[in-house]
Amino acid sequence: MAIATTSQFWTSRLNGEDPASPAVPRNNEVFSVTGSGASASGGDWVVTDARYSLTPAVGSYTILACISYGVTDPDNGEVLMALDNGTYRVEVQATGNIQTLRLVGATTVETEYLDLKMLNDEPVPVVLRLTLDASGNARLYMREIIEDDDAEIHYLSVTGSASTSREIAWGNNTGTVNWSTVYVSKHGAFGPDELAPSDFATDTLIRMALSIVQTIKDSQRMYLKTHLDDSQIRYGFDVSSEMISRTPAPIVNVLLRGIDSPIFAALGGGEVDQSYEVLIYVITRGTNYENAFRTGLNIIGEIFDEVYTTTGLKGTTDSLNEYSLELDHKMNNEHLTCVHLLTLTYDRRINMRRR
């Protein structure tokens, strides 16, 4: 995982306006256009014959679009989105129907049923995220889902084909496509858990909570690398006993419980100070309670050592200010599961101008 840093963000954000004249030009790069078949309608940028592009530096890119088909469907093979880094190229193409799209690189794969337009011609916007990294690895995420409820991977992957011309491009020359939203980042190939459409969500859930999950996964400390695999270290949307029982112990659940911003650090709210409360649960089981307790304490101790020495170290922008530890105790003879809780309080100064 390569979570976007505070200097990596959406370099273009369009929400239905003219791509050559964005409504909020600050930190919002303008697209070049070929063709003139496009206009604003119903909050969308409706394209019949126009293509929009940027020429980025060599590297990795992300384009996120929310689209639906209008009255006329694009032709089979119509290129809707393309990323080309000068070495590799990947495209999202129409298939001539309203159910599927095609991801085309060195090989070609087709999406699941997307339902880009209802049979009565009512649009059904679908969120698509296309990424390409410097090594040519490309992914197409559908509806911002990485895994579904059955833990099935919900994205397509290909290796890019040979480059034609370095660009980030979108649009269509056939059919009618309603482009509700188009976001672009030239800073990297970011999945849904690495850069969210909302800067607030990125600053909170991703840069704070999910980055701590990744920090624990990447640790080389003894218990963290030998007693847990990545599936046992997760963000804990659900920390109920029913969910815990589905995963073999030990388990590490990270949870962002609250955010507070009592002080704006700059007039007009250009920068704000935010306080985050992060909970880290360590759940262990043992042949007796003493073993579960000691194993859990060793694991949570290594987690504390790792996050304490690698996060919250920038005194002016990112500080770890407080921590507390709640150690579980045995309740009855059948109580062989131990749950320790580490609570961390971070303060961060956030730039609010890139929204």
Domain final residue, candidates 132, 155, 185: 185
Three-class SS of residue 202? helix
- 174 and 48 part of one domain: yes
- 157 and 207 part of one domain: no
- Does some domain include residue 194? no
Q: What is the average pLDDT value for the chain, to the nearest integer?
A: 89
Torsion of CA 151, 302, 237, 182, to 10 degrees: -70
Please tell me the predicted confidence (pLDDT) of residue 217.
95
Look at 36-50, 178-192, 259-273 and tell me which has the smallest mean pLDDT: 259-273
Report whether pLDDT(151) > 90: no
Torsion of CA 218, 223, 229, 233, to 10 degrees: -70
Using alpha carbons, list the distances in angstroms from residue 87 to 129, 135, 166, 228.
Answer: 20, 9, 8, 38
Please tell me the predicted confidence (pLDDT) of residue 139.
97
pLDDT tens-digit profile of 285-330?
A: 888 888 889 999 999 999 999 999 998 887 767 889 899 999 988 7
Please tell me the predicted confidence (pLDDT) of residue 25.
73
Strand-pairing partners, residue 351, are: 271
- 101 and 210 part of one domain: no
- Does some domain include residue 261? yes
- Does some domain include residue 70? yes
Please tell me the predicted confidence (pLDDT) of residue 21.
86
| The model's pTM | 0.87
Provide the domain limits for residue 253: 199-351
- Does some domain include residue 2? no
Query: What is the number of structural domains in the chain?
Result: 2
- Does some domain include residue 191? no
- 28 and 146 part of one domain: yes
Structure-model confidence comparison of residues 212 and 265, the more confident one? 212
- 176 and 219 part of one domain: no
- Does some domain include residue 177? yes
- 296 CB neighbour count, 10 Å cutoff: 26
- 240 and 133 part of one domain: no
Report whether pLDDT(221) > 70: yes
- Does some domain include residue 211? yes
Mean of pLDDT values over 49-60: 95
CATH assignment of the domain containing 217:
3.30.2000.10
Domain final residue, candidates 135, 156, 185: 185
- 346 and 297 part of one domain: yes
CATH assignment of the domain containing 69:
2.60.120.200
Report whether pLDDT(117) > 90: no
pLDDT class for 118, splitting at 50, 70, 90? low
- 26 and 143 part of one domain: yes
Domain final residue, candidates 138, 163, 185: 185
- 159 and 297 part of one domain: no
Query: 3-state DSSP: the chain helix, strand, coil percent, rounded to 5?
Result: 15, 40, 40
**Dist. CA 117–CA 178, nearest whole Å:** 11
Helix axes 289-310, 211-218, angle to 10 degrees: 110
pLDDT class for 69, splitting at 50, 70, 90? very high
- Does some domain include residue 3? no
- 235 and 125 part of one domain: no
